[in-house]
Amino acid sequence: MAIFAIGDLHLSLGTDKPMDIFQGWNDYLPRLTENWNRLVGPEDTVVVAGDISWGMSLEQSLADFRYLESLPGTKILLKGNHDYWWTTKSKMETFFDRHGFFSLKILHNNSYFVEGVYLCGSRGWLFEQGESQDQKVLAREAGRLSASLASTGDGPGERIVFLHYPPLMGDQSSPEILNVLAQYQISRCFYGHLHGASCGYAFQGKSQGTDFRLISADYLKFQPIQLEISTNS
């Protein structure tokens, strides 16, 4: 069994929001499907780091969830800034159960223990240049990330963090998020949100003991990446 990650699928099977108009997104759905089916097996797990569906509600996102359900593996979903369908964890889980989407799991104030490691995360927050800093949102997202990590208890195993927003980008950062990563001594953090030319501003590499990696779908050429998992985790 393996663990994969990818972010920003921007599915729009039930809405009129074509992504093919953007450079690099031509025929992205067939490409994603082919790559996913080639790499991911039924017993594998894929973390999808936000911006999953353009639907404005669970019902509008139904076709997108049905597509995800058709792909192999368990999919762990976290919220992105364009996931307007996102509601309470209980409502989303009830919706998934009602429609038979048993391979879709929600990452929200919780964690999942898979292959000897803990998969943790939250949306995160990084205010864009020109916008005012929202300390309340930053504090809330840092709290959610802390709750996710705290839910792992004291068990052995690496804690791997997934965010939608990059905690570092160019000369910007989210200190509240970075403080949580440092507090829990997180060695790996994966994030999405950045597309096209913005990927050039992505921080990739180590900072304060944490290795950061960008996993936006277009950056990955619509190919989920497999995480290296140590047998000593």
pLDDT in tens, 76-89: 999 999 999 999 99
Q: What is the pLDDT of residue 43?
A: 97
- Predicted confidence band at 193 (pLDDT cuts at 50, 70, 90)? very high
In a domain, 231, yes or no: no
In a domain, 69, yes or no: yes
pLDDT above 50 (res 186): yes
**Residues 136-145: contacts with CB under 8 Å, at least 24 apart:** 138/174, 138/176, 138/177, 139/176, 141/174, 141/176, 141/177, 142/174, 142/176, 142/177, 142/179, 142/180, 144/108, 144/109, 145/120, 145/121, 145/177, 145/180
In a domain, 137, yes or no: yes
Q: What is the pLDDT of residue 233?
A: 45
Q: What is the pLDDT of residue 132?
A: 58
Q: What is the pLDDT of residue 127?
A: 60
What does the longest C-alpha to C-alpha distance in the chain come to? 47
Comparing 24-33, 108-117, 123-132, the range with the smallest average pLDDT is 123-132
For the CA atoms of 175, 177, 182, 188, what is the dihedral angle to 10 degrees?
-130
Instruction: Quick: pLDDT tens for 14-68.
Output: 998 888 878 888 999 999 999 999 999 999 999 999 999 999 999 999 999 999 9
In a domain, 121, yes or no: yes
In a domain, 23, yes or no: yes
How far is residue 42 from each of residues 113, 140, 147, 193, measured CA to CA in Å?
17, 35, 29, 27
In a domain, 113, yes or no: yes
In a domain, 232, yes or no: no
pLDDT: is 55 or 135 the higher one? 55
**Mean pLDDT along residues 68-73:** 98
| CATH number of the domain to which 173 belongs | 3.60.21.10
- What domain range includes position 44? 3-226
In a domain, 194, yes or no: yes
Task: Give the ranges where the chain is alpha helix by DSSP (H).
Answer: 28-39, 62-70, 89-98, 135-150, 175-183
pTM of the model: 0.93
Q: Tell me how many domains the chain contains.
A: 1
Helix (H, G, I), strand (E, B) or coil at 11: strand
Give the whole-number percent of the chain exceeding pLDDT 90.
Answer: 77
